[in-house]
Chains A and B, each alone.
Chain A
Amino acid sequence: MSDIVIKAESISKQYILDKYGRYYSIRDYISETPQRIFHQVSRRAKTKSFWALKNISFKVERGEVLGVIGRNGAGKSTLLKILSRIMPPTRGRATIHGRVASMLEIGTGFNSELTGRENIYLNGAILGMKRKEINSKFDQIVEFSEIGQFIDVPVKKYSSGMYVRLAFSVAAHLDPEIVLLDEVLAVGDLPFQRKSLKKMKSIAKDEGRTVIFVSHNLSSVDSLCNKALLLEKGRVTAYGKTREVITKYVTGFMPKKTPISKMTSREGTGKIKLMDFWIEDQNHKKTAFVRSGDHCFFVFKYACPKKIKGETVDGGFTIFSVLDQPLFSHYLSYTRQEIRNLPVKGTLFFEFPKFPLARGEYKIGISLATNGITADIIPFAAQMSVQDGDFYRPNVTLDQSNPPFFIDGKWITG
């Protein structure tokens, strides 16, 4: 038997847009009747509709964590609502094997008049727990929520932090085989956010548990999910390995490439100006991409409007992940190589004996300074793509899925 737990076959959801929006009254209905009949008779009835989801198909195997990403209104929540059986699809079908818990928000059904204790039972039951189950997990829930002595106080007297902590704790103690999660991560103050993130990770990583995780937080998708699905306007535009899907999503936002010399998003005195940047392979040939472990060079071409006299020139670059997290930098000053008497025009090379980054897309920021004062800084000067390579052993490609770095070093055994 195949181990596909969730199978979605061309799920589509159509919404009819009528001018009344959500509320509709019999009074309106009656007064509109002549108009409606006229429209039907003259066959001009045009109902505006739009497809919130169109032909969504995917399969999730047991134990897999699927991340669903996309911009607001891409249909992520609609997809989750359909899979949770809150609303039916207009077309298509999905098959799910196992006990499902959906967490589309925390604190569903919390009632402010009831005490914390009563809400744990009510919310637990709404989320699909049996009374026995809640009884046995009750102490854990209270302990995790850090509510303590306030457990018998009506939740309307809780601070908003206490409220979300309690709500999260109930949801976090569900024990289903399949979890549908919608950005309920990271609530409360910073320590509790860390705690809840850790808990979510342990839920997602738990053996045999299948998770569909909808989030805007790309780095948590990156660290939690094996696979990802990118939705754009209700359609799947990318589906596959998480890193690749995220890259596709993020590069969609990146501005069109302009030559570095003409870039305007730069700051500094302008005493030195970066004119161009490219990457060369070990034979000093320009290359479009590098492989992990490659011997390669970053090449910086600069020009100065005037000859710089008596000032020390420093410069370097920082590599960022697509999520704008700085990964590492290198400046002339790091290795005490600042330049005195810089020629008016020229090129600088930075040599990587072994390129240390794993497969993916990266951004490069470049800056140049004279006497410690920024002359030219371009936060996002270039983008580079890295492919799988043979960092550790010649001609042996290592597929390192999540961590972004390779590191030189060795094990000492025996």
Chain B
Amino acid sequence: MKDSEQTIIIQAKTNPLKINWKEIWESRDLFYFLTWRDIKIRYKQTILGVLWIIIQPLVSMVIFTLVFGNFAKIPSDNIPFPIFVFIGLLFWNFFSAALSSSANSLISNENILKKVYFPRLMAPVSSTFAHIVDLIPTLIILLGLLVYYNVRLTPQMMFFLPVLLFILLVWALGIGMFLAPINAKFRDIRYILPFFIQLGFFVTPVVYPTSFFGGSLRFFRVINPVAEAIEVSRSGFFGTRPMDWFIFGLSTLFVLVTFLIGLYYFRTQEDKFIDIL
């Protein structure tokens, strides 16, 4: 064994800024298996299995179209309502699922965390990344809708879709890393978080356009990157508004800052949460 001369020093305080990248890199197989486990378990117990992740967004699209498009007559910037709401749901569902998994990642991995050492960051990271798989059927449906409504998939959007999803993943992970240790300490976060996620759904332009309140919620989009992602996609596909690079840049920066704060907080709590888990 070549790594035989590795030396581990165990002491009271760990420096939150000093992340052992080598160790994280060496845990990539563990990352793979934890993520794979989360995915496997999620779909193993549902009767419809993989079919469920196709049916769920389709059914919600139909219901939202009926309720908000047909009955409430919410404007959609002249975008066909089904695809309009589908784009909103795509980003929102992905973000909220990733956020709640990463915020609960310490509790759901409690039994392993208390018995084996591995870089603790693996818990929120693998829980978040497990949601990428959910995107596959959703993106296929999106493609179908684009074809159905004769929308061209421009190279620009081919680039933006994955980038926007990745930004949201990072944001969900950042907030999740911040919430996970708090969640370990205060067990009622678990019940409060779904409420706030529900609230987030309504302050995010999922079922209404950003132009709903006049303007395009420009600065609100900076602190709500999900709104930014939805806006960029809708206007990118349907050319309703030109690309607002300034807001996109600010929003991305906001995500980065949130992520770093989350990471830092997680690292400062790393040596404490085992005692309270």
Q: Point out residues on A near B: beta carbons under 8 Å.
A: 15, 22-27, 29, 82-100, 102, 104-105, 108-109, 111, 113-114, 118, 121-122, 125-131, 177
Contact = CB atoms under 8 A, between A and B. Distances in A.
B6 A97 contact: yes
A304 B7 CA distance: 70
B177 to A, nearest CB: 19
Contact of B117 (A15, A24, A86, A121): A86
A78 to B, nearest CB: 11
Of all A-B residue pairs in the complex, the 6 with the closest CB atoms, nearest first, are A85-B117, A93-B11, A125-B33, A25-B188, A88-B271, A94-B10
Given A95-B8, A104-B116, A177-B1, A125 B29 contact: yes
Interface string B177-207: 0000000011111001000000000000000
Contacts of A121: 33
Contacts of A89: 10-12
Interface in B5-24: 5-14
Nearest to B26: A130
A126 B30 contact: yes
Contacts of B45: 113
A58 B186 CA distance: 37
B6, B37, B41, B115: residue with the most chain A Cβ atoms closer than 10 Å: B115
Contact of B276 (A22, A100, A102, A118): A22
B118 A126 contact: yes
Given A99-B3, A111-B37, A91 B29 contact: no
B271 A87 contact: yes
Given A122-B33, A131-B32, 8 more contacts: A24-B187, A29-B186, A89-B10, A102-B117, A113-B41, A126-B30, A127-B116, A177-B4
A87 B37 contact: no
A18 to B, nearest CB: 10
Contacts of A102: 116-117
A131 B7 CA distance: 23
A24 B186 contact: yes
Interface residues of B, number: 42
B33, B34, B277: residue with the most chain A Cβ atoms closer than 10 Å: B33
Contacts of A100: 8
B111 interface: yes
A130 B30 CA distance: 8
Contacts of B189: 26
B112 interface: yes
Nearest to A106: B115
Contacts of A129: 29
B52 to A, nearest CB: 16
B40 A25 contact: no
B7 A97 contact: yes
B114 interface: yes
Contacts of B187: 23-25
B274 interface: yes
B10 A88 contact: yes
Nearest to A100: B8
A38 to B, nearest CB: 22
A226 B128 CA distance: 46
Contact of B112 (A22, A82, A108): A108
B275 A99 contact: no
A93 B276 contact: no
Contact of A26 (B3, B112, B113, B186): B186
Contacts of A128: 30, 116, 118
25 contacts: A24-B187, A26-B186, A26-B188, A84-B117, A88-B271, A89-B12, A93-B10, A94-B10, A94-B11, A95-B7, A96-B10, A97-B8, A102-B116, A104-B115, A104-B116, A108-B115, A108-B116, A109-B116, A111-B37, A122-B33, A125-B33, A127-B116, A128-B116, A129-B29, A130-B29
B271 A125 contact: no
A86 B115 contact: yes
Given A97-B6, A109-B116, A118 B40 contact: yes
A87 B118 contact: no
A188 to B, nearest CB: 20
B111 A27 contact: no
A99 B41 contact: no
Given A87-B274, A102-B116, A27 B188 contact: yes
Given A108-B116, A130-B29, A114 B37 contact: yes
A94 B9 contact: yes
A169 B45 CA distance: 27
Contacts of B8: 85, 95-97, 100
Contacts of A94: 9-11
Interface in B226-267: none
Given A98-B4, A102-B117, A85 B10 contact: yes
Nearest to A125: B33
A306 B274 CA distance: 70
Contacts of B115: 86, 104-105, 108-109
Nearest to A90: B12
A96 B277 CA distance: 26
Contact of A111 (B12, B13, B41, B188): B41
Contacts of B276: 22, 24
Nearest to A27: B188
Given A99-B4, A113-B41, A130-B29, A91 B274 contact: no
A127 B271 CA distance: 20
Contacts of A127: 116
B7, B10, B186: residue with the most chain A Cβ atoms closer than 10 Å: B10
A22 B186 CA distance: 10
A128 B118 CA distance: 8
B116 A88 contact: no
Given A88-B12, A96-B8, A99-B3, A108 B117 contact: no
Interface in B26-64: 29-30, 32-34, 37, 40-41, 44-45
Interface string B198-232: 00000000000000000000000000000000000
A24 B182 CA distance: 10
